[in-house]
């Protein structure tokens, strides 16, 4: 178990990282606007589960394998971009979710489907895997117990704060989307916005990393 001061420092940095604009919170934002709070909450939970998956990968060293194999890294990026593009096309082709004025807004798919979407989109993103491999070890102390156990605890903390942060984003964006849904024609454009966000994230995933 990492020391409490280390956990608090890790939590503060994690919240800042999660709030910073990125693929996952943009996805939650776009779908919450287009499909409502429940869809956004589902994506938030799925992304959190994906984050914990990356924790396990980093703990087992699989992220190091991806980093050492350019072909494997590119294959994961391609799979992630293809999935996000598919989601984008689905949203762009949607006719919107219209609702009579004053009617409660509901998501277009079963809630668990949004959980699955969030999980897959996060879990197959190799950039997230490499981030966790670089991020988690900075908060591990060899003299505080088994390194693997510490990383698992840190991963759980990161996943829980992800649910809280993304849930807040989903609630706020869902409220805005609920107001906009009173104008049925805007439902189509909300889906268009969500579709463009997905496609943009796919392009970003494949964009060459110029930081090297």
Highest mean pLDDT among 41-50, 67-76, 87-96, 202-211: 41-50
- Residue 143 DSSP class: G
Q: Hey, how many other C-beta atoms are within 10 angstroms of the C-beta on 93?
A: 10
Range of the domain at 201: 25-94+127-206
CA 121 – CA 51 distance, rounded (Å): 11
Q: Are 198 and 30 in contact (CB under 8 A)?
A: yes
201 in any annotated domain = yes
Tell me if 114 is assigned to some domain: no
Residue 157 half-sphere exposure, CB side, CA atoms within 13 Å? 22
For residues 208 and 192, give the distance between their C-alpha atoms in angstroms, rounded to a whole number: 26
Which tens digits make up the pLDDT trace of 81-97? Answer: 777 687 778 767 765 54
Structural domain includes residue 18: no
Q: Considering the chain, what is the average pLDDT of its residues? A: 75
- Residue 60 domain-assigned (yes or no): yes
Residue 210 has pLDDT above 50, yes or no: no
| Rounded mean pLDDT, 128-145 | 76
Q: Reply yes or no on whether the pLDDT at 67 is more than 70.
A: no
| CB of 122 closer than 8 Å to CB of 45 | no
Span 33-56, pLDDT tens digits = 777 888 889 999 999 999 888 888
What lies within 8 Å, CB to CB, of 74 at 6+ separation is: none
**Is the residue at 78 inside a domain?**
yes
**104 in any annotated domain:** no
Domain count, the chain: 1
> Residue 61 has which token pair?
């060293």
- Tell me the whole-structure pTM to 2 decimals: 0.68
pLDDT at 197: 67
Give residues with Cβ within 8 angstroms of 45, minimum separation 6.
115, 118, 163
Residue 48: name the closest of 172, 176, 156 by CA: 156
- Give a yes or no: residue 13 inside a domain: no
Are the beta carbons of 139 and 14 closer than 8 angstroms?
A: no
For the stretch 110-136, pLDDT in tens is: 888 889 988 988 887 777 777 787 777
Q: What is the pLDDT of residue 160?
A: 93
Is the residue at 102 inside a domain? no
């Amino acid at each position: 178990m990492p020391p409490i001061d280390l956990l608090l420092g890790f939590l503060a940095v994690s919240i800042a990282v999660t709030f910073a604009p990125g693929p996952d919170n943009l996805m939650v934002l776009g779908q919450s606007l287009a499909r409502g709070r429940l869809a956004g909450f589902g994506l938030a939970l799925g992304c959190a589960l994906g984050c914990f998956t990356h924790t396990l990968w980093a703990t087992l060293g699989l992220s190091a394998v991806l980093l050492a194999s350019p072909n494997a890294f590119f294959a994961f990026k391609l799979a992630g971009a293809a999935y996000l593009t598919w989601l984008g096309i689905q949203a762009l082709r949607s006719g919107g979710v219209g609702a009579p004025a004053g009617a409660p807004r509901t998501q277009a798919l079963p809630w668990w489907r949004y959980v699955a979407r969030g999980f897959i989109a996060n879990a197959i993103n190799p950039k997230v895997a490499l981030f966790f491999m670089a991020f988690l070890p900075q908060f591990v102390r060899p003299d505080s117990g088994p390194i693997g156990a510490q990383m698992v605890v840190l991963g759980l903390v990161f996943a829980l704060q992800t649910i809280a942060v993304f849930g807040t984003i989903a609630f706020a964006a869902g409220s805005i989307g609920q107001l906009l849904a009173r104008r049925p024609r805007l439902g189509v454009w909300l889906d268009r916005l969500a579709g463009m966000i997905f496609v943009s994230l796919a392009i970003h995933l494949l964009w060459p990393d110029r930081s090297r």
